[in-house]
Structure 1
């Protein structure tokens, strides 16, 4: 098969024809300088910790210690229960806040104002020391007991974390509800649906697209905030590590053990949060964000040497 050469345009000779453009990529030297500086700083940090007075053998020995693992389990347990309480109460408060009933909206506003305006640690101590105000819990014929027996460290931690989280979840849920087009509610009312049924069947399912991603972030934040309950004698991960270090005096080593466990737990749930957000972004984004594996693959591809694309040198 013979290759045909295009004839020159009228009035032009063959040597005047345009030649293919050779594209040369722009060199970003600043990026490489910045990357080298960051790697140098990281290298100095690794070198400093490697030469520090830390017994890394102790760190490795206590990573799977029974007390540490039990503390990590209690951290997860109190985080899950507190988050469930916060989400359930937060959605209820959001609906109350948006209600046209002035009593309901005012009570919801006052709850959010109080719990967002006071530190979590103060709230934990308020619940833990409730026996100074109420000696007994008296529910008539249903239940009666001493407050000290009722308000255990676990219950105080659950109420302190869960009720505080409800104030933040209420604002997240309210933002999600307000993101739904009011026409959806009007259409539901036109079909004869009640206000409660409209909220449950129409508004909340659509609001979940806005509510779910920040809720995942709140869960990760709750996982770290749960370390505050050590102050009310609840033996979670941080208190478990400090209890061991008070016996063997390996304070820094046990703090590093707790740090590693917190990093592992938050990393696992951060990955879950990423894919959850990616799932709920399907209805709004034209193209889903790349997964971590796809990002790594793209970075490796970009580091290859220039290749011929479409017959043009790049």
Structure 2
């Protein structure tokens, strides 16, 4: 039969912490003999020494003799046990405690959590400022006392200044003037008008050809002579310049077909001397486009 090796006796403080098992002391009959009671006491001591004793129901149990014990135990063994336990815990958890302390120091460097409900509300308000509530929030924050209302008022004013062009279309002038103040409103309004005028001047020439001043009617009148492309009618170069309303029968992409020989030489001669219309048609498309662009007919 295999048996476990003998275990060493427990320390004194552990033995002191274990209550004597008095369940055997509580007999069903009050006429139990003294020998039976002594046997119950000795079995309780053995159970307590091995750590397997049951919880006692009597708080004033005392035992005299060589192995005398008291319950509740005295404070000295308890203090010794607690001290020894602290030493063991400090030795075992030393590295873990140092790591925890370093983590706590790093966490202390981060921004702290809000300390009160007012600070929580202020943070929520700052995250939800918009063009629909900045004027009302600014008016309320200016009329309240408290550490959280100053940042709210500053944030609302900054938001209103940056969104002034949008607020002009959403709020009345009196509301914005009372919210921002007369000086700030007048300055922002003047800057907005200047910006709008500048953008209007830029957009005037975008998306369409800006028309030039039309030449005199006699200078743009058609001529009854054959053009370089063989058409029975030709137009002067001034009538085919870009930025004008060309005649109804002229295709804007082929205006060079409506020139006579003299206007053809005046338009293409400086860029390609001696170039005829037939030679022009034989050129690659990109080359024709370059020449037309240089002649002002592209």
Is the shorter-chain TM-score for this pair beyond 0.5, marking a shared fold?
A: no
TM-score (norm 1): 0.18
More RCO (CA 8 Å, sep 6+):
1
TM-score (norm 2): 0.18
Larger radius of gyration: 2
**1 or 2, which has the higher helix percentage?**
1
